[in-house]
Structure 1
Amino acid sequence: MVEQRLLERAIGESGRPIAAEPFGAGRIARFRVERGTEAGDWFVDTSRQPVPAETGFVIRDGGGAVVARIWKHPLDPRLPALRTVTDPERLHRIASAAGSTGPIEARVLAYRPGRRAVVRLTQHGVHLFVKVVRPGEAEDLAAIHDACRAAGVPAPEVVHWTPAGVVVVRDAVGTPGPVAATQMSADAVLDAVETLREQFTRVRTGRIARPSVGSRLDWHVDRLASVLPDRAGELRTLRTALVPHLRRQGAAAVIHGDLHIGQIFCRDGAVSSVIDIDTAGLGDPCDDTAAFIGHATASAVRNEVAGRARDAALLHTLAETALDRWVAQPRTAALTTLHLIGHAIRAAESNREAAHLMLDEALDLQSIRRSR
């Protein structure tokens, strides 16, 4: 792997590959160095995209052009605030802005290098969530939270934001969606989600939702074929089947952009909170449908492989009920198929059997015969 060689050239350690994600003209690869003075998570960025300021090693070609940037977490050059919100000595400043004092525990819950991070701050048993984004994006993120709340969408309240790329929101209220799904019927869960989706359509914003998964057909298919090469033929067939159905039809509406059971909290049969609305804006409602069904199906597979048969059955029922209720056009089925491929790509990093089963689900959705 070229990124591994670049890392070794920079720090004398090759590290263990963890993940890689497309970015710009290249990608950002993550490695873990287990021991020694360089222990930690390192990132090799071959995108060639500019950064506000360098925070690590820079490798250039003979003409002086940047070939790669290499940094150690949390020194992401595109997310300069990440260092602040993971540094105990600097966290008090953020907590004070929310009216709290005392010891703070910080835990990184999600991190997409170069794009965003979510850090949970815990103080006196109370959680605050810090969204770390690129400088200049925080105001827009705070604004979509406010616009959602004004329209009745139960998004978390923003208590503080800074132009440096920090948005602080309060904790969600209610029972987490995956737990609620074990306490409510599939139809009751979908009724609650439908009400939430209707609330989103009343949000006043000109913001554009996250790009549709349908815009990256080739990347998804090629990437899964590279990690499951024995199934490349099925994936080629799948690509051909999906191409005619990826063009959006109808007017745009405000959507969540990444809607799934893990994004919602419920109380008294209704959605009481919805999180991660960073992706919200004008888009195709089919994308939210596909994200929800794809996630439920992939979660069912993960539970099945882990031996949690009851949870797997509940999630399969939720996904199948949503398919029966919501999937009325080939485009929605095509987007759901792509979401399943995306989940399979991620699963392949740690559990190839789960990846195979997710691909099986994708093939079944398109009525394509499996090879195994």
Structure 2
Amino acid sequence: MLEQRLLEKAIGEPGRLIAVEPFGHGSIARFTIDAGERAGDWFVDTSRQPVAEETGFVIRSHEGTVARIWQHPLDPRLPALRTAVDPERLARIAGAAGSEGEIEARVLAYRPGRRAVVRLTQHGVHLFVKVVRPGEAEELVAIHEACRAAGVPAPEVAHWSPSGVVVVRDAVGTPGPVVAARMPAAELLDAVDALREALLGVRTRRIARASVGVRLDWHVERLAAGLPERAADVRALLPGLLANVRRVGPPQVIHGDLHIGQIFCTDGAVSSVIDVDTTGLGDPSDDCAAFVGHAIASAVRNEVAGRSADAAVLQGIAGAAAERWLVDAHTTALTTLHLLGHAIRIVDRNPAAAHLLLDRALVTGGIRPAS
């Protein structure tokens, strides 16, 4: 693997691949090293996208930058991340504001080069620090406020800084995965549909996160390389995807990364929706596809892990959502791509689940496996 060879060239160790995501003209791959002076998470960025300041190794050729390599949390595009995961720095900041006591910082999500979410806990109270690229924080605050003004229950913004930090308060309600085991699937989907309807009233010109369809070729070729014995199955999906992936109709306000883990419910309604960072004008089918794809992927991971009851609940939600929303070839194609994306993220550490996800993608795409 190219990224692994580049990491070994830079630091002398190849590391163990954890995940890879498309970025710019290439990708950002995440590796881990378990022991020794290089222990930790390392990232190899082959996007060739410029940065304001280098924070790690740079490999160049006569044509320019080949790769950037850094160790977490020294992401060159998210300079505020270093502060957000440093308990000592956070304690000093809190102390200056008159709050004393130990602060626990835990990274809940991290998309290298794009954003991170860090949960801060002090005196049993949670705050969530969203770390974004400098210059994006004000826009992020604006979309939170626009959502709340339209009745979309996004978390309240407690603080923000142009350095790339937005601090939001905790969500209200019971987490979606817990609700899923208690609420009939149809009622849960009714609540999600009500949320999607409310999103249509958000006043914004912001563009939602790019559709999964814009990197169609990357998804197909990456999974074909990750599961070479099933490359024919993966590539068999390409004609149907190419024919149906383009958006139909005008853009509308969508969440941009809608799935069951993003919602909290109270009395049968969505009382909080998190990660509206991706919200803006986009393709309504993307939210449907993301929700179904995530539910199927979660069911598969639970199935492989032996948690059959959880898998059955999630598969039931996925089936009901597919029946409700996958009513055209376009939404179905996007869902298939989401499933390929989930398979790519786990193909190296959980190949059994990746194979099952490819099976689900083939079924969704209406193709019989060749293998």
For the residues of structure 2 that align with 1:122 and 1:331, how far apart are their CA atoms? 42
TM-score between both structures, scaled by the size of structure 1: 0.95
Q: Which whole-Å CA distance do the structure 2 matches of 1:50 and 1:364 have between them?
A: 40
Find the counterpart in structure 1 of residue 229 from structure 2. 230
Contact 2:251 2:281 survives alignment (8 Å): yes
The aligned residue for residue 216 of structure 1 is: 215
| Structure 2 residue runs without a partner (length 5+) | none
- Whole-angstrom distance in 1 between the partners of 2:97 and 2:149: 21
**Native 8 Å contact 1:214 1:338 kept in 2:** yes
- Residue 368 of structure 1 corresponds to 367
> Residue 59 of structure 2 aligns with which residue?
59
Matched, 1:291 2:290: yes
Equivalence for 1:186? 185
How far, CA to CA, are the matches of 2:97 and 2:233 in structure 1?
53
Which residues in structure 2 correspond to 1:22-37 (within 5 Å)?
22-37=22-37
Aligned pairs, number: 371
Q: TM-score, normalised by structure 2?
A: 0.95
Range 94-103 or range 108-117, more displaced: 94-103
- Deviations for 1:294-313, whole angstroms, at most 9, x for unmatched residues? 11111111111112222111
Q: Distance in 2 between matches of 1:291 and 1:320?
A: 14
* Structure 1 pair 309–2 and aligned structure 2 pair: CA distance change class (3 A): closer
Look up the SS of the partner of 1:259 in the other structure. Answer: coil
After TM superposition, give the deviation of residue 259 of structure 1 in Å: 0.4
- 1-structure distance, mates of 2:96, 2:153: 23
Work out whether residues 98 and 159 of structure 1, in 8 Å CA contact, stay in contact via their aligned partners in 2.
Answer: no
SS at the partner of 1:272? strand
Corresponding residue SS for 2:201: coil
Work out the CA distance in 2 between the residues paired with 1:206 and 1:102. 41
Residue 339 of structure 2 corresponds to residue 354 of structure 1: no
Identity of matched residues, %? 71
**Partner SS state of residue 181, structure 2:** helix
Query: What per-residue deviation string (whole Å, max 9, x for no partner) do you get for residues 258-315 of structure 1?
Result: 1010110111001111111111001111110111111111111111111222211111
Q: Which has the higher contact order (CA 8 A, sep 6+)?
A: 2
- Preserved contact between residue 27 and residue 47 of structure 1 (Cα < 8 Å): yes
The match for 2:112 is 113
Gaps of 5+ in 1: none
Q: Per-residue displacement from partner, 1:203-223 (whole Å, max 9, x unpaired)?
A: 000001111111111111111
Cα distance, 1:99 vs structure 2:
6.9
Compared CA separation, residues 243 and 25, structure 1 to 2 (3 A): closer
How many angstroms apart in 2 are the aligned matches of 1:371 and 1:326? 28
Q: CA RMSD in A?
A: 1.8
> Aligned partners of 2:62, 2:235: CA distance in 1, in Å?
39
- What SS does structure 2 have at the residue aligned with 1:183? coil
Check whether the contact 1:76–1:114 (CA below 8 A) recurs between aligned residues.
yes
- Greater Cα shift, 1-10 or 359-368: 1-10
What's the offset of the Cα at 1:38?
2.4
Structure 1 window deviating more from structure 2 (244-253 vs 131-140): it is 244-253
- The residue type paired with residue 160 of structure 2 is W
